[in-house]
Amino acid sequence: MTKVAFYKLSSNQQSAFELVCQLVKKACKTGQQVLCLLPDNRAAEQLDQMLWSFEAAAFVPHGLGAEQYPVAISTDSNPADHHQILINLQQQIPSWFSRFDRVIEVIYQQPEYQQAKRENFRFYKERGYSLSFHDLSNQFPK
């Protein structure tokens, strides 16, 4: 069954992208494929740029579009062939989330977005998914 982890930040979307870069780098080191699901093309392009530049010595092979491997940055409602890690930065849960081994929901400070993530937590919990919660507010300050 899919394992779901929530990561809470006390800051904005930019900090969420920094966290995503770290999570993606860690996943790549262990040979896992990642699909980063973004709310819109602008956000997808921002994350794409951050993955190229977040660490001078790091190289994270990635691209825009769900068909990219090992790391895809997408706004698409089709996950292509991905099934290992989904990092969801959209407010809603995609209907195909359960095909993934792991789902990561990142929460940042924006009231409407936070409320959507609360509802997502409730959705997973009511259906019996294994949940974990990580408060990273002190590590990614405002």
In the chain, what are the domains? 3-135 (3.40.50.10110)
In order of 32, 38, 65, 104, the CA distances from 48 in angstroms are 18, 11, 11, 18
Give the start-end residues of each E strand in 1-142.
3-8, 34-37, 62-64, 71-74, 85-88, 102-107, 130-135
- How many CA atoms does the CB half-sphere of 45 hold within 13 Å? 3
Q: At what angle do helices 41-53 and 13-29 cross, to 10 degrees?
A: 60
What is the Cα–Cα distance from 34 to 125, expressed in whole angstroms?
Answer: 23
Q: Output the tens digit of pLDDT for each of the chain's 142 residues.
A: 999 999 999 888 889 999 999 999 999 999 999 999 999 999 999 999 999 988 777 788 899 999 888 999 999 988 989 999 999 999 999 999 999 999 999 999 999 999 999 999 999 999 999 999 999 988 765 5
